[in-house]
Amino acid sequence: MEENEVVRSLAALAQPVRLQVFRALVVAGPGGLTPGALVESLGVAATSLSFHLKELVHSGLVSQERDGRYLIYRASFERMGGLIGYLTENCCQGQACAVDPATSCAC
């Protein structure tokens, strides 16, 4: 993953509503969700949700597909995996990390 893609993805997630939307789509899995389902579950105004979904689609973290008269939004698990991989690529200088579950610290 290129650095500019990482920055675009992180910038998209650096907003509370977009982070909630992305997490809801991750939980929904490959089936995705309609905007109506997101509005209902997150309590976000439809106009606000539309703006946030557009930003997430632009970042590549979310895809949009038309199914008849409905739009289905899905988390891009490939992009999410690429982002996580980029962030942890050189963790612990290439050695296996020993994560302390009590502190979530890799020490």
- 43's tokens: 């309590």
Smallest CA-to-CA distance from 54 within 45, 63, 43 is with: 63
Predicted model pTM: 0.85
- What is the domain-level CATH number for residue 49? 1.10.10.10
Contact 71, 21 (CB under 8 A): no
To the nearest whole number, what is the mean pLDDT of the chain? 91
Banded pLDDT at 95 (limits 50, 70, 90) = confident
Contact 42, 21 (CB under 8 A): yes
DSSP 33: B
Banded pLDDT at 101 (limits 50, 70, 90) = low
Banded pLDDT at 107 (limits 50, 70, 90) = very low
Domain count, the chain: 1
Q: Label residues 14-30 b or e (16+ Cβ within 10 Å = b).
A: eeebbebbbebbeebee
DSSP helix, strand, coil percent of the chain (3-state; round to 5): 60, 15, 25
Residues 24-76 pLDDT 10s: 999 999 999 999 999 999 999 999 999 999 999 999 999 999 999 999 999 99
- Domain with 8 in it: 3-106
